[in-house]
């Protein structure tokens, strides 16, 4: 049977054109925004997973900044420890000088004065070794925690950028903890290596602790860099548009739109031919 609707072809072609038009519009929006999901109800679970990764990625990036700051702080502390080592070496030299039985009273007084001054400087170096106002040597762990981002924890678990302080002591007549003992009876200086060795070991322990912490942060930073890169790739696969695939879809949609328009014109022409029959 021949009817004015041409067997419904006109409406079916019209519906196909509208559906194709929506697909072409969606492809254009995806390509324009660079986003894979352009409507609130599109791939909601995938988007939720991707946004969770995005939050963790943002936290990791800040953690890497914190790690870089901690490494800078350790570089500063390492320079201070070098000064402490230099002081210990000089105290060892003074110890050797003090063992010389030919020293005069003036010599002895000079050796004692320098040793006492060095010990004060030893304490002063540790006291002024701060990062943003926080003590490093003998500081409070809670003030020096190094957060490395969500799920990455902190350096040394609950530890922070804190090193054990070394505190030599000195009084008016005796310099202790350095191996230099100034006698009061004959004003001679005698020396033993025990105190100096203990002081040197304590400074070495500071150096080892600082180096271990630096390496721990550096290794963690390397891991975080790799983790961040892979998180970015994973998040991109869930949120970013596939430009190659979407461009193909757009071209396909545009071709179908042209073909559909041509077919709609033919369907419309069938109706016009029926009208011509009636008019004849």
The model's pLDDT over 147-170, given as tens digits with 9 standing for 90+, comes to: 777 666 555 444 578 888 887 754
Alpha helices, H only, 101-193:
105-128
Helix (H) or strand (E) holding 181: strand 180-182
pLDDT on residue 194: 55
Q: Where are the domains of the chain?
A: 6-34+241-279, 69-239
List, for residues 212-260, the tens digit of each pLDDT value. 889 988 888 888 888 888 888 887 777 777 777 767 776 777 777 777 6
Which has the minimum average pLDDT: 65-69, 87-91, 120-124, 275-279? Answer: 275-279
Give the sign of the dihedral formed by CA 214, CA 160, CA 148, CA 66: negative
To the nearest whole percent, how much of the chain has pLDDT over 70? 71
pLDDT at 183 over 70: no
| Among 4, 132, 158, 137, CA closest to 70 | 132
Give the sign of the dihedral formed by CA 109, CA 110, CA 114, CA 117: positive
What would the two tokens of residue 247 be? 């461009």
pLDDT on residue 164: 86
| Among 190, 213, 52, 54, CA closest to 131 | 213
**Residue scoring higher pLDDT (144 or 272):** 144
pLDDT on residue 84: 94
pLDDT on residue 178: 38
The number of residues in the chain equals 280
pLDDT on residue 169: 52
Fold of 69-239: f41 fragment of flagellin, N-terminal domain (1.20.1330)
List, for residues 192-212, the tens digit of each pLDDT value. 445 788 888 899 999 999 998
pLDDT on residue 187: 31
Q: How many CB atoms lie within 10 A of CB 213?
A: 23
């Amino acid at each position: 049977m021949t009817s004015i609707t041409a067997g419904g072809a006109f409406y079916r072609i019209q519906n196909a054109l509208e559906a194709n038009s929506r697909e072409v519009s969606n492809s254009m929006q995806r390509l324009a925004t660079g986003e894979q999901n352009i409507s609130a109800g599109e791939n909601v679970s995938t988007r939720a997973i991707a946004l969770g990764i995005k939050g963790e990625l943002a936290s990791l990036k800040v953690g890497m900044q914190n790690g870089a700051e901690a490494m800078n702080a350790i570089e500063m502390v390492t320079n201070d420890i070098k000064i402490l080592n230099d002081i210990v070496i000089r105290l060892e030299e003074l110890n050797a000088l003090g063992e010389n039985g030919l020293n005069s009273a003036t010599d002895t007084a000079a050796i004692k004065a320098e040793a006492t001054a060095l010990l004060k400087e030893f304490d002063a170096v540790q006291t002024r070794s701060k990062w943003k106002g926080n003590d490093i040597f003998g500081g409070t762990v809670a003030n020096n925690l190094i957060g490395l981002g969500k799920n990455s924890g902190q350096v040394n678990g609950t530890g922070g950028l804190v090193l054990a302080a070394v505190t030599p002591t000195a009084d008016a007549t005796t310099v202790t903890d350095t191996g230099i003992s100034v006698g009061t009876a004959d004003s001679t200086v005698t020396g033993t290596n025990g105190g100096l060795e203990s002081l040197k070991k304590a400074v070495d322990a500071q150096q080892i602790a600082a180096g271990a912490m630096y390496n721990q942060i550096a290794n963690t930073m390397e891991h975080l860099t790799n983790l961040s890169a892979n998180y970015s790739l994973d998040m991109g696969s869930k949120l970013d548009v596939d430009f190659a695939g979407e461009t193909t879809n757009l071209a396909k949609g545009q071709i179908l739109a042209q073909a559909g328009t041509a077919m709609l014109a033919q369907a419309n022409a069938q109706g016009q031919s029926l009208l011509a029959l009636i008019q004849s």
